């Protein structure tokens, strides 16, 4: 089984430094691209691989790049979205800390494809080790001639900078990220115009996830067919999956795209810990719908998870066990989402705290049946299109599915006027 993204990361997780990276074939893709490929050919190859964005939305990367107007003057930007703040998600961290040059090489090639003049890594503030490694990697890449003027002596120049965020979940949304990078409030922008046309400082900009960009050197070296062949399903490549919760072996693994949930949980995560029963899981981070026992054979790719009523999201699963109160579980999530709402649009700013307060009231034994109606109503009203961006709709996904799959738990809170899991609750 090939693990292109993580195969060279030492078991210790320590970063692969530039010489080590070069020794395992690092920067050969960049060399090849600058010698042999036009920017359009790079994009064509990425399209050919049908690489889908690993940040959660699963949009075709090559397609995204192809929207960048190529015949305009002035700066263009490439941004690596390394603001990994989705609760339960830690896949990019692995790549950032373990193989920073792989990301850099992917970024330089991607920047070349859109003829960007400047690249940024927008990094989550809390990833202190990653920040250190990225800074070193960028400096080393400059020193080695992979960045700066006339990269590898060719007629292409690119500057790169690391930007550490201040810890807003909102910055994971690409347009809010761009606002933040400009020094503005991290609020999302209306689309259209898309960042490909009017992004950072109003200039054409591509924002890609760390995992997505890290694939680029491998696709350049090995081609689209190779990439597709890595997968079990129609969505090509490998995927870094993660599992957290009361399992025997929580962690993250690079696996062929499309492994089943059962395989992931039982083979890789080692099954539930003794005394804990699986009740459900958020398959792709906090803003995805619960899947349950009934979905164990769902193939974990974009289409498969969607068909099961959820989203692949980041591919990092959070497991709910039978000792944890589902109401408390979603209360914790809604607390997070309410706090991380940017405050720009009404339904999100006011609706999320409302759901949080209801869930808290339920947990405290003050819930009413009318509260459930309110919660149901919010899951419908805070849907896509009703709110300005995807934050609130994402926040409603675990809630709506919890109300669906664990309704009796909610009702029990009301009937018993207390949390039946009180000894475990938050």
Partner 1 sequence: MPIIHIDNKPYEVKEGKNLLEACLSLGLNLPYFCWHPALGSVGACRQCAVKVFKDEDDKKGRIVMSCMEPVKDNLRMSVDDSDAKSFREHVIGWLMTNHPHDCAVCDEGGSCHLQDMTVMTGHAYRDYRFTKRTYSNQYLGPFLNHEMNRCIQCYRCVRFYKDFAGGKDLDVFAAHNHVYFGRQQDGTLESEFSGNLAEICPTGVFTDKTLKEHYTRKWDMTSAPSVCQGCGLGCNIIAGERYGTVRQITNRFNGDVNGYFLCDRGRYGYEFVNSKDRIKAPMVRHSPAEGSNGIPLMQHIRSKIVSKKVIGIGSPRASLESNFVLKQLVGADNFYLGVSAADHSLVSLALKILQQGPVRAASLQEAAAADAVLILGEDVTNTAPMLALSVRQAVRRIPVEQAINNVHVPAWQDAAVREAVQDSKGPLYILNVLETKLDELAKGAYHTAPDNIARIGFGVSHLLSDKMPEVTGMSDQGKAIAQEIATTLKNAKNPLIIAGYGSGSEAVIKAAANVAWALHDLGIDAMLTFTVPECNSMGLEMLGGHRLDTAMDQVLHDAVDTAIILENDLYRRLNHHTANHFFKSIKDIILLDHLYNPTAEKATVLLPAGTFAESDGTLVNNESRAQRFFQVFTPGTDVQESWRWLLQAGVATGNASLAGLVHLDDVVSAIARTCKVFAGIDTLTPGAGFRIAGQKIPREPHRYSGRTAMQADVNVSEPKPPEDSDTALSFTMEGYRGTPPSAMIPFFWSPGWNSVQSVNKFQVETGGALRDGNPGKRLIAPNVNGHTPFFTQVPEPFLPLAGHLLLVPLHHIYGSEELSVHTPGIAERMPAPYIMLHSEDAKRFQVAEGYLLHFIENGHHYTLPVIINDTLQQGAAGIPVGLPNMEIAEAPQLIKI
The verdict on 245 binding partner 1 (CB under 8 A) reads no
Among 125, 374, 376, 411, binds partner 1 (CB under 8 A): 374
The verdict on 277 binding partner 1 (CB under 8 A) reads no
Among 75, 148, 271, 353, binds partner 1 (CB under 8 A): 353
The verdict on 66 binding partner 1 (CB under 8 A) reads no
Q: Which two tokens stand for residue 16?
A: 């692969």
Instruction: CB nearer to partner 1: give 140 or 356.
Output: 356
Instruction: CB nearer to partner 1: give 143 or 377.
Output: 377
Sign of CA dihedral 220, 224, 230, 231: positive
Among 347, 393, 394, 398, binds partner 1 (CB under 8 A): 347
Q: How many CA atoms lie within 13 A of 30 on its CB side?
A: 32
The verdict on 386 binding partner 1 (CB under 8 A) reads yes
The verdict on 381 binding partner 1 (CB under 8 A) reads yes
Residue 317, φ and ψ in degrees, nearest 5:
-90, 140
Taking residues 161 to 200 in sequence order and writing x for each that binds partner 1 by CB under 8 A, - otherwise, the string is -------x-x--------------x---xx-xx---xx--
Q: How far is the CB of 102 from partner 1 (least distance, A)?
A: 32
In terms of Cβ atoms closer than 10 Å to its own Cβ (0-12, 13-18, 19+), residue 150 is exposed
Write out the binding residues for partner 1, residues 389-408 only, by CB under 8 A.
none
The verdict on 354 binding partner 1 (CB under 8 A) reads yes
The verdict on 422 binding partner 1 (CB under 8 A) reads no
Q: How far is the CB of 399 from partner 1 (least distance, A)?
A: 16
Q: How far is the CB of 67 from partner 1 (least distance, A)?
A: 12
Radius of gyration of the chain (CA): 22
Q: How far is the CB of 169 from partner 1 (least distance, A)?
A: 10
Q: How far is the CB of 249 from partner 1 (least distance, A)?
A: 36
CA 172-175-177 angle, 5° bins: 45
How distant, in Å, are the alpha carbons of 134, 154, 178 from that of 35?
A: 26, 8, 32
The verdict on 388 binding partner 1 (CB under 8 A) reads yes
Alpha carbon distance 361, 411 (integer Å):
13
**Which of helix, strand or coil describes residue 79?**
strand
Secondary structure of 32-76 in the HEC alphabet? HHHHHCCHHHHHHHHHHHCCECCCCCCCEHHHHHHCCCCCCCCCC
The verdict on 25 binding partner 1 (CB under 8 A) reads no
Q: Residues interacting with partner 1, by CB under 8 A?
A: 72, 168, 170, 185, 189-190, 192-193, 197-198, 201-202, 338-347, 349-354, 357, 361, 370, 374, 377, 381, 385-388
């Amino acid at each position: 089984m090939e693990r292109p993204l993580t195969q060279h990361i030492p078991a210790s997780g320590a970063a692969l430094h530039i010489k080590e990276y070069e020794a395992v074939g690092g920067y050969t893709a960049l060399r090849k691209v600058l010698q042999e490929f036009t920017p359009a050919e790079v994009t064509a190859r990425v399209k050919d691989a049908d690489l889908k964005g690993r940040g959660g939305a699963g949009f075709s990367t090559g397609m995204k790049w192809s929207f960048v107007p190529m015949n305009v003057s002035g700066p263009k930007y490439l941004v690596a979205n390394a603001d990994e703040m989705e609760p339960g998600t830690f896949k990019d961290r692995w790549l950032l800390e373990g193989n920073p040059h792989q990301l850099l090489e992917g970024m330089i090639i991607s920047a070349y494809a859109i003829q960007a003049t400047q690249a940024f890594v927008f990094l989550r503030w809390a990833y202190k080790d990653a920040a250190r490694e990225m800074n070193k990697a960028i400096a080393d890449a400059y020193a080695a001639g992979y960045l700066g003027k006339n990269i590898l002596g060719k007629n292409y120049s690119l500057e790169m900078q690391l930007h550490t965020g201040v810890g807003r979940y909102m910055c994971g949304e690409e347009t809010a990220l761009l606002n933040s990078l400009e020094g503005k409030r991290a609020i999302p922008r209306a689309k259209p115009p898309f960042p490909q046309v009017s992004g950072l400082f109003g200039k054409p900009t591509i924002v890609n996830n760390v995992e997505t960009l890290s694939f680029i050197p491998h696709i350049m070296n090995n081609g689209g067919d190779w990439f597709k062949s890595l997968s079990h399903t129609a969505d090509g490549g490998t995927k870094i999956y993660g599992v957290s919760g009361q399992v025997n072996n929580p962690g993250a693994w690079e696996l062929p795209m499309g492994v089943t949930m059962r395989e992931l949980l039982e083979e890789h995560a080692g099954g539930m810990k003794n005394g804990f029963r699986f009740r459900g899981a958020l398959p792709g981070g906090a803003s995805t719908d619960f899947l349950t026992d009934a979905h164990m054979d769902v193939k974990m790719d974009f289409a498969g998870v969607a068909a099961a009523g959820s989203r692949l999201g980041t591919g990092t699963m959070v497991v709910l066990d039978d000792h944890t109160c589902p109401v408390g579980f979603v209360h914790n999530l809604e607390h997070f989402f309410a706090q991380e709402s940017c405050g720009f649009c009404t339904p999100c700013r006011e609706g999320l705290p409302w759901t949080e307060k209801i869930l808290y009231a339920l947990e405290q034994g003050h819930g009413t049946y009318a509260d459930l109606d309110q919660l149901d109503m919010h899951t419908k009203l805070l849907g896509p299109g009703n709110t300005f961006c995807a934050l609130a709709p994402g926040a409603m996904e675990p809630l709506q599915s919890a109300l669906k799959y664990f309704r009796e738990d909610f009702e029990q809170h009301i009937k018993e006027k207390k949390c039946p899991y009180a000894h475990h609750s938050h």
